[in-house]
Chain A
Amino acid sequence: MENSKTSIIRKVLMALSGLFLVIFLLQHLMINSLSVINPDSFNEVSHFMGTNPAVQFLLQPILIFGVILHLVMGIIIEQQNRNARPIKYAFSNAGANSSWMSRNMIISGITVMLFLGLHFYDFWFPEIDIKFIQGDMSGMLEGETDFRYFKELQHKFVSPVRMGIYCLSFVFLSLHLLHGFQSSFQTVGFKNRKYAPTIEKLGNIYAVAVPLGFIIIALFHFINSSH
């Protein structure tokens, strides 16, 4: 138990929850991309994800636990980071030895978390309200025969301000992942000379492609909505 209080264990929990969120994000992007390729499929998958008991009552709590664990560990570690150097340098040239992304994970992380708050406000809270408070599990609006999910998605990408916030948040997510992906493997001890180049390349591709994918999908709906 004593070992679990060490920063290595905390960082490992941070890394594992981060890698779990990396997998979740990929799954989220795949579903989002259906909204561009085939809105009917998007509706069906969304309905399945929103009403399937295994997804709702097993995977969703695990996901929320993962997000909270990642956030709480991040804050605890950041506090520990700051305590370790009470007097700062008068002159620092940190850019000479490390990337901005690696030094500012807390900034990119908090930005992503703030976005997540907005995302919950936009999508998750209304979903919980409709399904579990109003008790409407049909996935349809009153008097309609089509699923509501695609229409709701389109509706959220009308405001240019929302679009701006959305895109900027994903830029920060990209910055977070550019360090976080490969750093997770290093923390769990998986990175060595043999695997490092592959992990770094894969991490860079993921960190750029996945957030860019979310941005492109959002822009697609935004542009469509303005016509």
Chain B
Amino acid sequence: MSAAKKLNLTLKVWRQKNGNAKGNLETYPLADISPDSSFLEMLDILNNGLIDKGESPVVFDHDCREGICGSCSLYINGEPHGPARLVTTCQLHMRSFKDGETIYIEPFRAKAFPVIKDLMVDRSAFDRIQHAGGYISVNTSGNTQDANSIPIEKEDADEAFYSAACIGCGACVAACKNASASLFVAAKVSQYALLPQGKIEAKDRVLNMVKQAEKEGFGPCSNTGACEVECPKGISIENIARMNREFLSASITK
């Protein structure tokens, strides 16, 4: 097996001691990176080098490294999760970059996603939006009806499933010029709105979740479609139209 040509890179990484500190882009040259390594592995290599030199490693979020947990983030060369499509940063490989390339690595930027340290941001605003209505109230006393006993049209079931594929990583917010969370909120609203179990609380859900998103400081939606393009799970902006429909109808009747 012939080894692929190793990459020599220049990294421009956002370093910030804490939420109150002023951050800046630091330059780190990095040599002999395998194109087969993942982006996060490349950062691990950078960090090992920094630790060896007695410097503070770059802090970044990561967990499953399988593209399903929504923990990893990073705004890489001007795009959330980097230049590849339908992948999270952990699934991005160094073969997407050229030898000698300069790579800019910044945190997801939004008023509602304050920086904790370096590339790690606080995305708990998403949790609070979920708490505002991203659930269904079910009596779990033992008399709960089996969900599968309720017939659901295949198309609706599929749509709800696609919406539920949102991993809440925040790439939509990072990509949006207004740092809008519309795609996230719309996906969470849609996954319930399309199913009979979700219809009962649909009005309160959409009203409360949208209001919570505004309260958190996310911006309005300009329908640029950037969120859909950058979403690692391919969530469609059709969900945003559905959310707006739901919100308008709930605003009139509730």
A-side interface residues toward B, CB under 8 Å?
2-4, 6-12, 77, 80-81, 83-94, 96-99, 102-103, 105, 179, 182-183, 186-193, 196
Contact B219 A12, beta carbon cutoff 8 Å: no
Inter-chain contact B241/A189, CB cutoff 8 Å: yes
Q: Give me the interface of B with A, judged by CB distance under 8 Å.
A: 12, 14, 25, 75, 77-79, 83, 104, 106, 109-112, 175, 177-180, 207, 210-211, 214, 217-226, 229-230, 237-238, 240-248, 251
CB distance from A194 to the nearest CB of B (A): 10
Bound-complex Cα distance A149 to B211 (A): 51
By Cβ-Cβ distance, the 7 closest A-B pairs, closest first, are: A93-B78, A84-B219, A189-B245, A7-B220, A91-B104, A97-B229, A98-B224
Contact check: which of B111, B223, B237 meets A85 at CB < 8 Å?
A: B111
The reply to whether B79 and A97 contact each other, CB–CB distance below 8 Å, is: yes
B12 proximity list for chain A (CB < 8 A): 90-91
What is the bound-complex CA distance between A4 and B218, given in angstroms? 17
Do B110 and A84 touch across chains, with their CB atoms under 8 A apart?
A: yes
Q: How far is the CB of A111 from chain B (nearest CB, A)?
A: 17
Shortest beta-carbon distance from A102 to chain B in Å: 4
Assuming A3-B207, A7-B214, A84-B112, is B219 touching A189 (CB within 8 A)?
no
Partner of B241, one of A88, A97, A186: A186
CA distance A77 to B226 in the complex (A): 18
Q: Tell me if A179 and B223 are in contact (CB < 8 A).
A: yes
Q: Using Cβ atoms and an 8 Å threshold, which residues of chain A touch B225?
A: 97-98, 102
Do residues B221 and A7 form an inter-chain contact, with CB atoms below 8 A?
yes
Bound form: Cα–Cα A4–B109 in Å: 27
A99 to B225, CA, bound (A): 9
Besides the contacts A11-B221, A96-B79, A192-B238, what 4 more A-B pairs have beta carbons closer than 8 Å? A84-B217, A96-B83, A98-B177, A98-B224
Asked if A94 and B110 sit within 8 Å, CB to CB, the answer is no
Complex Cα gap A84–B173 (Å): 10
B242 surroundings in chain A (CB, below 8 A): 189, 192
Contact A84 B218, CB 8 Å, known A8-B247, A96-B78, A102-B224: yes
Measured between C-beta atoms, what is the minimum distance from A190 to chain B in Å? Answer: 7
Given the complex, which residues of B lie within 8 Å of A83, measured CB to CB?
A: 111, 217, 219
B residues near A193, Cβ cutoff 8 Å: 238
Q: Which residues of A contact B214 (CB under 8 A)?
A: 6-7
B244 & A189 in contact (Cβ 8 Å cutoff): yes
Q: Is the CB of A187 within 8 A of B223?
A: yes
B-side contacts of A103, CB under 8 Å? 177, 222, 224
Does A94 contact B177, Cβ atoms closer than 8 Å? yes
B210 touches A8 (CB 8 A): yes
A193–B110 Cα distance when bound, in Å, is: 30
Return chain A residues, CB-CB under 8 Å to B78.
Answer: 89, 91-94, 96
Asked if B210 and A98 make an inter-chain contact with CB atoms under 8 angstroms apart, the answer reads no
**Whole-angstrom distance from the CB of A165 to the nearest CB of chain B?**
27
Residue in A3, A4, A85 with the greatest tally of chain B CB atoms within 10 Å: A85
